[in-house]
């Protein structure tokens, strides 16, 4: 896939999907939503394993995807290690995005506060952790959709000048 601001890699983090005992509904719904935002999307699946998640994230960044979305592994379960793997890969946090996803999620369910997902920058890729629940995953992306294209434009352009931007 050609590296542009509209390339996305959706990584489903799930032991069940990896083992073939569960269908990847979250990854499919996330990809479908990103298609509506005009992204070219590739999907990958990885087990709930810190090193495997890190490796898959590093590969997606090396493959120059503008946006890398993980779905799953953000809760309180003992194998929910997606945020830790993401922190090991990113160079800078983007806390406002994760905060907004949780804030908007709380409008739908009190369980949104339990999401430990993070957002951050690795190289010129934006990595976003969303919940494994398909509805929660898409709602999380909808929460940041108004700023997503701008964030990717700033991140991908080395000569971006905020001063030229109109309010």
Q: Is the pLDDT of residue 110 over 70?
A: yes
The CA-based angle 68-5-102, given to 5 degrees, is 45
pLDDT for residue 163 is more than 70: no
pLDDT 10s digits, 140-160: 999 999 999 999 999 987 555
Q: What's the token pair of residue 78?
A: 């003992």
How far apart are alpha carbons 70 and 82 in whole angstroms? 8
CATH class given for the domain over 10-156: alpha beta
What local confidence, expressed as pLDDT, does residue 166 receive?
A: 56
Contact 131, 137 (CB under 8 A): yes
Residue 8 banded pLDDT, cuts 50, 70, 90: very high
pTM metric for this prediction: 0.93
- Residue 157 pLDDT: 79
Per-residue confidence band for 5, with pLDDT thresholds at 50, 70 and 90: confident
Non-local CB neighbours of 43 within 8 Å, separated by 6+ positions: 9, 10, 11, 12, 24, 27, 28, 31
């Amino acid at each position: 896939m050609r590296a542009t601001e509209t390339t996305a890699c959706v990584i489903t983090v799930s032991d069940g999907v990896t083992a073939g005992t569960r269908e990847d509904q979250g990854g499919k719904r996330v990809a479908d939503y990103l298609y509506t935002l005009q992204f070219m999307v590739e999907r990958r699946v990885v087990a709930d394993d810190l090193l495997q998640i890190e490796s898959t994230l590093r590969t997606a960044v090396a493959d120059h995807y503008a946006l890398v979305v993980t779905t799953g592994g953000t809760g309180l379960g003992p194998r929910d290690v997606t945020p830790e793997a993401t922190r090991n890969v990113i160079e800078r946090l983007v806390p406002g995005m994760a905060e907004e996803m949780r804030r908007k999620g709380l409008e739908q369910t009190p369980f949104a506060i339990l999401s430990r997902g993070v957002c951050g920058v690795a190289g010129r890729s934006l990595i976003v952790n969303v919940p494994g629940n398909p509805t929660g995953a898409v709602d999380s992306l909808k929460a940041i959709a108004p700023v997503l294209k701008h964030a990717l434009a700033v991140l991908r352009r080395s000569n971006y000048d905020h001063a030229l931007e109109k309010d």
